[in-house]
Amino acid sequence: MLQGVCSPFFSRLADRLVADGHCVSKINFNGGDCVYWGNRPAWLFRWRLEELVPFLEERYRSAGVTDIILFGDRRPVHRPAIELAKKHGIRVHVFEEGYFRPYWVTLERDGVNALSLLPRDPDWYRRTGRLLAGTQQFETFRTQFLTRAMHAVLYRLGCSANPVLFPGYRTHAPFIAPVMFAGYVKRFALKPWHQKRDNAAITALIESRTPYYLLPLQLNSDAQIRDHSNFAHMSDVLEFAMESFALHAPPDSLLVVKNHPLDMGLVNYPRVIRKLEKRFDIAGRVAYLETGNLELLVRHARGSVTVNSTAGSVALQYNCPTIALSNSIYNLPGLTFQGTLDQFWQATTPPDEELFRCFKSVVLRTCQVNGSFYCTRGIQLAVENSLTSLTAVRSPLEELL
């Protein structure tokens, strides 16, 4: 096992694998990894990233490693580990947040998101989805944001020992822990006020029947933006979308920008939007929401614009015309608009409902695991439901392919 999430999920999964007769060890890269791994068998990698490959070469060979398990395939410490594993014929299991949330997590072989093995052929989904007819059963549960936040705090406290114990470690996070926590505290202290204001704005927007397009923001730190898109950050996305909206959208329409629920609050998006409104001469035509019910918004939107967010899947589920600005797993002919953003404003067409049903059915059955990384019941489910895929010679998706 390599790096996991900020929760006990990896340690609980390891305990179950060991109980089933497997030999499990881990590489800890920082103090947070150590906190959640406890006294289970582990190697410590304390050095610079350039020294990781020879370290892994020796461990892969001496321990007879057959599989590696990790969360997030684009982390700096995971990229060389994955490349080397493939070179040695070692199976790679990648966990990630769910493609469909909140009751699912992603588990794929080799890579996720833009690196997923999921085909980009709509006809394949139609054929395969019909073979997998039937509703996928799953259990619901409740994850408190406070629980997730407490795990993050504990992990970061463990990382405070990095200068001494792991001097070569460099985090993949864009900000140091105190800055992140300060941003979260401020944003979530204001959340009740934001919710009251935003709920009133959404109600007024829907009741007025004003045509609007929705642009849900993603996290600047997300690998989906950093590694799998042509944008450096969400301010670039706003500039690109608002310029196109100004030139090509119907003059009576609005662009509704909704912030990500886990944004740290370190970017003043209202200020960014005001400057762009002035620059593109569309003052009053862009509405910003700090919070808001995504499902409600997409049900009434004329269209949804996303880079590669899971919000795109939500929009498709509610039959909302959607354009993806990068290579997301759902960016398929028949699901998303295949023209340019300039054309999208005037030519929105809803997704093919049958194709989406087949697409969702295939994705849920092949690379989604019912469970969560952060709450007790969710972790129990994720551990139990991951075992078949982890221990199989070929993953469910590879079997279908």
Domains in the chain: boundaries: 9-121+366-400, 177-357
Q: Are strands 91-97 and 67-71 parallel, antiparallel or unpaired?
A: parallel
Q: Measured between alpha carbons, how far is residue 391 from residues 26, 61, 99, 154, 339 in Å?
A: 17, 20, 22, 31, 42
d(CA 383, CA 373): 9
C-alpha closest to that of 74 among 299, 235, 226, 286: 226
User: In sequence order, what are the beta bridge partners of 108?
Assistant: 94
d(CA 235, CA 106): 28
| Successive 10-residue mean pLDDT values, the chain, 401 residues | 97 98 97 96 96 97 96 96 97 97 96 96 95 85 84 89 92 64 72 92 96 96 90 96 98 97 88 98 97 97 97 97 97 97 93 96 96 96 98 95 92
Report the pLDDT value the prediction gives residue 338, as an integer from 0 to 100. 96
Report the pLDDT value the prediction gives residue 173, as an integer from 0 to 100. 65
d(CA 350, CA 251): 21
Report the pLDDT value the prediction gives residue 126, as an integer from 0 to 100. 96
- Return the residue matching tokens 């999208």: 344
d(CA 253, CA 353): 26
Please answer whether residues 358 and 366 qualify as being in contact, where contact means their C-beta atoms are separated by less than 8 angstroms. Answer: no
Topology (CATH level 3) of domain 177-357? Rossmann fold (3.40.50)
Centroid of chain to Cα 340: 24
- One-character DSSP codes across 149-183: HHHHHHHHHHHTTHHHH-TT---SSSS-HHHHHHH
d(CA 100, CA 391): 23
Q: Measured between alpha carbons, how far is residue 280 from residues 127, 284, 305 in Å?
A: 45, 11, 18
Could you tell me where the DSSP H helices lie in 108-260? 122-131, 145-159, 162-165, 177-189, 191-208, 223-226, 234-248
Cα-Cα-Cα-Cα torsion 244, 248, 252, 254, nearest 10 degrees, comes to -20
Residues 6+ away with beta carbon under 8 Å from 92: 67, 68, 70, 82, 85, 86, 109, 110, 111
d(CA 99, CA 104): 7
Q: pTM for the whole thing?
A: 0.93
